[in-house]
Amino acid sequence: MGTIYKIIVFIHIFSAILGMGPGFVLTTVVKSGNTMTELRHSYKIRHKLHIFVMVGGIFLLLTGLAMGYLNPSLFRMGWYVTSLVLFLAALAMGPIVLSPRSKPIKALLDSHKGEAIPEEYWRLSKVLFRLENLENVIFLIIISLMILKPF
């Protein structure tokens, strides 16, 4: 394996740790808020963590494709192609599925007065968190495929 390829693999693995690691706790961070002040603060922390997820995700995609470019036989490996398709699907979930469901929550956090968390938040967040958990399962499948290379 060439030096450039090894460097790309290193960046790929490092990006997975820095990007996907925080992604698994995004839902947990905001579940800890018991008042609107705590909830708003939790969402600010979540936003900062999400930056790591986005940067890591971009590097994951770029380095994964670079590995395929340098080693075209990967495009004939089922685990690689499946991982790539699942990753693109999970990436698309952000703007297509998650963002439309997070906007009403953000609006509620900005407009709600008082410290009591309204029932509407729980209803909206339940749907969002369920979809985020689905995305996390997709990422766990991708990680498993990358480690096991089963087909």
- Distance from C-alpha of 93 to C-alpha of 113, rounded to nearest angstrom: 31
Question: Quick one: tokens of 107?
Answer: 């609006």
**Which pLDDT value is given to residue 87?**
96
Q: Which residues contact 48 (CB under 8 A, 6 or more apart)?
A: none
pTM over 0.85: yes
**Which pLDDT value is given to residue 130?**
97
Q: What is the pLDDT along the chain (151 residues), one digit of tens a residue?
A: 789 999 999 999 999 999 999 999 999 999 988 999 999 999 999 999 999 999 999 999 999 999 999 999 999 999 999 999 999 999 999 999 999 999 999 999 999 999 999 999 999 999 999 999 999 999 999 999 999 999 9
- Distance from C-alpha of 137 to C-alpha of 93, rounded to nearest angstrom: 13
Which residue is it, tokens 């209803």? Answer: 123
CA distances from 67 to 29, 34, 87 (A): 34, 45, 15
Q: Which residues contact 53 (CB under 8 A, 6 or more apart)?
A: 19, 20, 22, 23, 26
Q: Considering just the CA atoms, what is the radius of gyration of the chain in Å?
A: 18
- Distance from C-alpha of 35 to C-alpha of 40, rounded to nearest angstrom: 9
Measured at the CA of 61, the angle between CA 56 and CA 64, to 5 degrees, comes to: 115
**Which pLDDT value is given to residue 108?**
96
**Which pLDDT value is given to residue 32?**
85
Q: What amino acid is encoded at 143 in this protein?
A: I
**Which pLDDT value is given to residue 33?**
87
**Which pLDDT value is given to residue 128?**
96
| Alpha helices, H only, the chain | 3-23, 26-31, 36-70, 78-93, 99-111, 119-148
- Listed by start position, the domains of the chain span 3-146
